[in-house]
């Protein structure tokens, strides 16, 4: 087989691979839609931290994402939805990074405002795990492994439910896989273009889940400065700059926005402070009648804020108090 024939055959195989990935991705969307319509349309009664009974189809972070998107679409800004709805308090909010909220806001502007509606429009995001896993698998071990990886991304029962709970994990998982793909691609072929791709994928992932900022010190910097020692320092620093500029261009506007609107420093979100106190109290350690050993309890946050007057003021004050309480 001559070189031209080999290239033609390779392109044909690549097209067939992408067709199969497309079919798997469509199936991933459909199974997530089925899950939402079958299991997530019931209205449930839930208790807020202050004891208020609240009827909803989404809960916890999912309720915040859905209602916050509607508030932004209505021109009310990025504020905490429950204080605004229940007691009329406008409280600037940084519960989460903004990527998923802004995605839902787009749909809210188009008239998709219900919680189930937001679940359904999230199904394509969750289904992106299929092509993202596929790309990563192909990069690591070839096309066949890529197809198997795509099937895992499409049908893994541990990640199918996320759209049905209106959670940012639906988009975080594909972006985390894409960031890993970018890292391996940069490792195999270190150049400015791939470094910029790595920075962009990481920046988007950080805007979905703040924890993925750890990718910068633990993956990007070691990969570009230490691992690729066959490149000159000028080349390594240039690639690091390319990754940093693209990542920073995505993330820093959000950081600057937060630093401008809160009295205490808030960079990506205050979700860590919530998690620290909800997972570090008597109930989460299984004391008393609690069956929550090793888990979280929303009431821990309510108890920590009770009597402080911080629940409905600048979120950064409450976050600082929760952080101190968690380590007390």
At residue 301, the pLDDT reads: 82
Decide: 277 and 301 in contact? Cβ < 8 Å. Answer: yes
Give the angle subtended at the CA of 132 by the CAs of 162 and 138, to the nearest 5°. Answer: 140
At residue 49, the pLDDT reads: 61
Domain extent for 307: 271-326
At residue 148, the pLDDT reads: 98
**The residue to which tokens 């519960």 are assigned:** 95
d(Cα 152, Cα 132) in Å, to the nearest integer? 11
- The DSSP code sequence of 61-118 is HHHHHHHHHHHHHTT--SB-HHHHHHH----B--SS-SHHHHHHHHHHHTT--SHHHH
Give the angle subtended at the CA of 71 by the CAs of 68 and 74, to the nearest 5°. Answer: 155
Question: Which pLDDT tens digit goes with each residue over 106-153?
Answer: 999 999 999 999 999 999 999 999 999 999 999 999 999 999 999 999
d(Cα 151, Cα 203) in Å, to the nearest integer? 26
Residue 50 belongs to some domain of the structure: no
- pTM for the model stands at 0.92
d(Cα 157, Cα 5) in Å, to the nearest integer? 42
At residue 1, the pLDDT reads: 56
- Strand positions, DSSP E, the chain: 44-47, 53-56
At residue 288, the pLDDT reads: 65
**How many domains does the structure of the chain reveal?**
1
Rounded to 10 degrees, what is the CA torsion of 135, 140, 143, 146? -50
Decide: 191 and 231 in contact? Cβ < 8 Å. Answer: no
Which of the residues in the chain have pLDDT under 50? Answer: none
SS3 of the chain: helix, strand, coil, percent, to 5: 70, 5, 30
Residue 314 belongs to some domain of the structure: yes
Residue 242 belongs to some domain of the structure: no
Residue 64 belongs to some domain of the structure: no
Q: Which of 264, 86, 87, 67 is nearest to 77 (CA)?
A: 67
φ, ψ of residue 47 to 5 degrees: the values are -105, 125
Residue 322 belongs to some domain of the structure: yes
């Amino acid at each position: 087989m001559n070189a031209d024939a080999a290239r033609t055959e390779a392109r044909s195989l690549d097209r067939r691979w992408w067709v199969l990935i497309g079919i798997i991705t469509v199936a991933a969307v459909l199974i997530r839609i089925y899950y939402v319509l079958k299991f997530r349309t019931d209205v449930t009664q839930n208790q807020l931290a202050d004891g208020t009974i609240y009827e909803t189809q989404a809960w916890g972070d999912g309720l915040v994402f859905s209602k916050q998107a509607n508030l932004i679409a209505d021109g009310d800004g990025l504020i905490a939805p429950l204080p605004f709805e229940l007691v009329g308090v406008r409280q600037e909010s940084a519960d989460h990074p903004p990527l998923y909220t802004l995605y839902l806001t787009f749909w809210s502007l188009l008239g998709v405002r219900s919680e189930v509606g937001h679940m359904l429009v999230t199904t394509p995001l969750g289904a992106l795990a299929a092509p993202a896993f596929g790309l990563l698998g192909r990069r690591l071990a070839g096309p066949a492994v890529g197809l198997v990886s795509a099937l895992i991304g499409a049908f893994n029962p541990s990640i199918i439910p996320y759209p049905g709970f209106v959670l940012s994990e639906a988009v975080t998982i594909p972006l985390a896989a894409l960031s890993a793909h970018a890292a391996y691609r940069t490792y195999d072929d270190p150049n400015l273009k791939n470094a910029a791709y790595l920075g962009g994928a990481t920046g988007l992932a950080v805007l979905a889940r703040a924890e993925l900022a750890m990718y910068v010190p633990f993956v990007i910097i070691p990969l570009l400065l230490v691992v690729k020692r066959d490149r000159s320092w000028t080349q390594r620093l240039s690639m690091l700059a390319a990754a940093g500029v693209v990542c920073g261009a995505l993330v820093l506007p959000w950081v600057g926005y937060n630093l401008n609107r809160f009295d205490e420093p808030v960079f990506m979100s205050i979700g860590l402070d919530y998690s620290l106190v909800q997972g570090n109290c008597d109930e989460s350690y299984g004391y008393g009648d609690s069956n929550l050993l090793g888990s979280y309890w929303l009431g821990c946050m309510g108890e920590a804020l009770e009597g402080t007057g911080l629940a409905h003021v600048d979120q950064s004050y409450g976050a600082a108090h929760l952080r101190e309480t968690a380590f007390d």
